[in-house]
């Protein structure tokens, strides 16, 4: 499975934007970039995903580098409820029916009031 | 829409005992996953079902772990006998087998083996 590299931890002030980086230099053409987050004492939840173009949804934005070797999850205005571990995951879409998620250790985001 | 349900939420057992976890996926989701999450690590896939068939169980320790999904809906994961290193959170997730294939996770069962 293609690997991702994320910082272990980040801090951000409340109500400011947060940029969470992810490196995936060995990404293949069929890999989608997925982001999940895990709030304390909960199961992970889906945030956003993309292939080549930048993506926006109600939770966040995903900026993907032109060479696809890195991406950035953007939380436009962080709140205390965004404090969580954020996982960047490559999901191979070519193996239809077995598109498993391989989690790393993620980035622990702390929001400072 | 009801989420993924899991029970029990917490379980404490002694080593060499047996334990079972139950999962009820979101209605209509054909794919069901069991993950193990050890403290400080990301979740690790143990087994994936498509309806009632196994798609991937390559990381399931089959000498002690077993899982079934009878009738393609609910699933149970069993550990027999448990070891100290099995202390972890066991997460169940489900997804559609079409479209974005987003995985929806339950709250997990926290297992402590003494």
The mean pLDDT value of chain A amounts to: 93
Q: pLDDT at residue A2 above 70?
A: no
pLDDT value of position B1: 66
**A104:B42 CB<8 A:** yes
Which chain B residues are within 8 Å of A42, Cβ to Cβ? 105, 107-108
Q: What is the pLDDT of residues B26-77, one digit of tens each?
A: 999 999 999 999 999 999 999 999 988 999 999 999 999 999 998 889 999 9
pLDDT band at A6; cut points 50, 70, 90: very high
Chain A within 8 Å of B104 (Cβ-Cβ)? yes
Going by C-alpha positions, the residue among B94, B114, B96 that lies closest to residue B104 is B94
């Amino acid at each position: 499975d293609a690997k991702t590299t994320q910082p272990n931890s980040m801090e951000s002030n409340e109500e400011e934007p947060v940029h969470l980086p992810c490196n995936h230099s060995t990404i293949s053409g069929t890999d989608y970039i997925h982001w999940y987050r895990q709030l304390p004492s909960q199961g992970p939840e889906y945030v956003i995903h993309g292939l080549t173009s930048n993506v926006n949804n109600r939770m966040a934005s995903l900026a993907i580098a032109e060479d696809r070797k890195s991406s950035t999850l953007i939380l436009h205005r962080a709140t205390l409820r965004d404090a969580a571990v954020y996982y960047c995951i490559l999901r191979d879409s070519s193996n239809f029916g077995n598109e498993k998620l391989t989690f790393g250790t993620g980035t622990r985001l702390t929001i400072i009031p | 829409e009801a989420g993924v349900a899991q029970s029990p939420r917490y379980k404490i057992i002694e080593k060499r005992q047996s334990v079972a976890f139950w999962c009820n996926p979101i209605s209509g989701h054909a794919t069901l996953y069991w993950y193990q999450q050890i403290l400080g690590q990301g979740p690790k896939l143990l087994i994936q079902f498509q309806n009632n068939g196994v798609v991937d169980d390559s990381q399931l320790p089959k000498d002690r772990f077993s899982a079934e999904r009878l009738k393609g809906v609910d699933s149970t994961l069993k550990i027999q006998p448990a070891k100290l290193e099995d202390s972890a959170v066991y997460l169940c997730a489900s997804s559609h087998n079409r479209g974005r294939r987003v995985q929806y996770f339950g709250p997990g069962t926290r297992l402590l083996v003494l």
